[in-house]
A = this chain, B = another copy of it.
Amino acid sequence: MARRGSYAKGVAKREEILDAALEVIAREGFRKTSVREIATAANLSQTGLLHHFASKNELFTEILRRRDEVDAVNASTDPEARFIDTFPMIIRHNSKVPGLVQLYVSLATEAPDPEHPAHKFFTERFEGFREELVAEIQEGQRSGEFNTRLNPELAANSLLALADGLQTQWLLTPTLDMAAHIEAAIESWRSDPKP
């Protein structure tokens, strides 16, 4: 903050690195990818890159954070759009970028460790999505869109867990249609049609 532009410059460089990382992981996949490989993709040495991040784990966590930002922008230009409605599109997009899905499940697996930077990221991410979903389900129940027998908290958790589990299954069996399963789950929430 003290010197002119230094802060913004640092942020810009970080984003440049993160976007290069996203691009290379989406293109080449992610399987125990090393910091060096990301550094090469960003035209930097390993140390040049780690100058901008505290550690390997922070780097990979920030890549995921950046991915969420990009996805949120791409999913909908309408700031009023519901999460419920954009979620299937995000999932469908995931099936275009297996490397990023692999990165996501890998870090999710490491996230239980409270020392890991991904711990905070996944905890907050889950909480945020969960609260948003609960609110949307409750609103849908008031409007008559969703079945009132649905428990909003259970349904919200289950949809998010379903999405995570589908990604694991899909990496193993890429013929699985993740988005179709998500859509069917949301469909099952709807009120029975009046006879």
> Are B126's CB and A172's CB within 8 A?
yes
> Are B172's CB and A158's CB within 8 A?
no
CB contact list, A146-195 vs B, under 8 A: 151, 154, 157-158, 160-166, 168-169, 171-173, 176, 180-181, 184-185, 188, 192
Whether a CB of chain B sits under 8 angstroms from the CB of A105 is: yes
How many chain A residues touch B (CB < 8 A): the figure is 36
This chain: copies in complex: 2
Whether a CB of chain B sits under 8 angstroms from the CB of A78 is: no
Partner of A165, one of B109, B113, B162, B173: B162
Q: How far is the CA of A113 from the CA of B168 in the complex (A)?
A: 12
> Are B160's CB and A126's CB within 8 A?
no
Partner of A168, one of B158, B164, B181: B164
Report A164 CB to chain B, min CB distance, Å: 4
Inter-chain contacts of A157 with B (CB < 8 A): 166, 169, 176, 181
Given that A161-B181, A188-B188 are contacting pairs, would A173 and B126 also be in contact in the complex, using a CB cutoff of 8 Å?
A: yes
Q: How far is the CA of A81 from the CA of B112 in the complex (A)?
A: 34
> Are A122's CB and B172's CB within 8 A?
yes
Whether a CB of chain B sits under 8 angstroms from the CB of A119 is: yes
Report A194 CB to chain B, min CB distance, Å: 13
Report A153 CB to chain B, min CB distance, Å: 10
Interface centre among A119, A151, A158 (most CB of B within 10 A): A158
Nearest first, the 4 A-B pairs at minimum CB distance are A161-B165, A165-B165, A164-B165, A112-B171
A-B contact pairs, 18 of them (CB 8 A): A105-B108, A105-B168, A109-B109, A112-B171, A122-B172, A151-B184, A154-B181, A157-B176, A158-B166, A158-B184, A158-B185, A161-B162, A161-B165, A161-B166, A164-B164, A164-B169, A165-B166, A188-B188
